[in-house]
Amino acid sequence: MMETNEQKGAGLALIIGSLLMIATMVLHPVGGDFNQLLKIVTIGIVSHALAILSVPFVAYGFFGLSMRLKSSSFLSYTAFSIMFFGLIAVMIAAATNGLILTDYAKSYEGASEETIASLKPIFVFIRSFNHAFDYIFMSAICLAMLFWSVAIIKTRALATWVGYFGILVSIAGIILFISGFELLHLASFRIFVFANVAWIIVVGYYLRRID
């Protein structure tokens, strides 16, 4: 098991990563057409850069959580493996939507309407590519949270209500995902992220309290 100071460090990492995710959602601009995209280049890059920056903090924090729940090794380590792929997916999604797409759009700034219209299939493809990785991330965080929450209840390594809260949030997300609810609209995605971030912050808080 990790040393107490290391677990507290993991808790701090989760809180920092969560705050960066919140900043990302607050700053994240509403999407639009080509001309709208050019108007929000700077804020788009900044918001997605914050999302990418959050990844290593969250990864380290979840590693600490998995070590804390080591006595339920299958659940905790499987959850970390799932979340690891989810974090890679969200990093790719953020880089695609916030860096690649904006850079591509900037290269056609001032182009004719006919040229811009001809680019529409490429923009649709890039957004679809990005959405695929968004779905991978959302599925991964719901499933990983479910596994970690069950492990929390089983091991009582953290307050058991945290486990029940995580199960509630993860199952709600899974149900919405399976039912076909549109989670990639910005408002829906913000609610999804904030619900998950709330659980992550609570976990980080309890990791910080370990003596």
Give the residue carrying structure tokens 């998995």.
66
Lowest mean pLDDT of 67-71, 88-92, 139-143, name the range: 67-71
- Say what the pLDDT of residue 193 is: 85
Nearest to 54 by CA among 83, 16, 85, 80: 16
pLDDT band at 11, cuts 50/70/90? very high
**Cβ atoms of residues 69 and 102 within 8 Å:** no
Q: What residues does each domain of the chain span?
A: 4-206
Model confidence pLDDT, tens digit, residues 74-117 = 999 999 999 999 999 999 988 988 888 887 777 777 777 787 77
Model confidence pLDDT, tens digit, residues 31-49 = 556 667 777 777 878 888 9
Phi and psi at 19, nearest 5°, equal -65, -35
Q: Which whole number is the average pLDDT over 36-63?
A: 87
Whole-number Cα distances in Å, 163 to 76, 129, 140, 185, 201 = 12, 33, 17, 28, 13
pLDDT above 70 coverage of the chain, percent: 91
Torsion of CA 156, 159, 164, 166, to 10 degrees: -100
Q: Where are the alpha helices (DSSP H) in the chain?
A: 4-27, 34-39, 41-68, 73-95, 101-106, 113-118, 120-155, 160-178, 186-208
Average pLDDT in the chain: 86
pLDDT(192) > 90: no
Contacts of 140 (CB under 8 A, 6+ apart): 82, 83, 85, 86, 87, 89
- Say what the pLDDT of residue 134 is: 87
Q: Which whole number is the average pLDDT over 158-187?
A: 85
Model confidence pLDDT, tens digit, residues 156-169 = 999 999 999 999 99
Q: Which whole number is the average pLDDT over 2-8?
A: 77
pLDDT(186) > 80: no
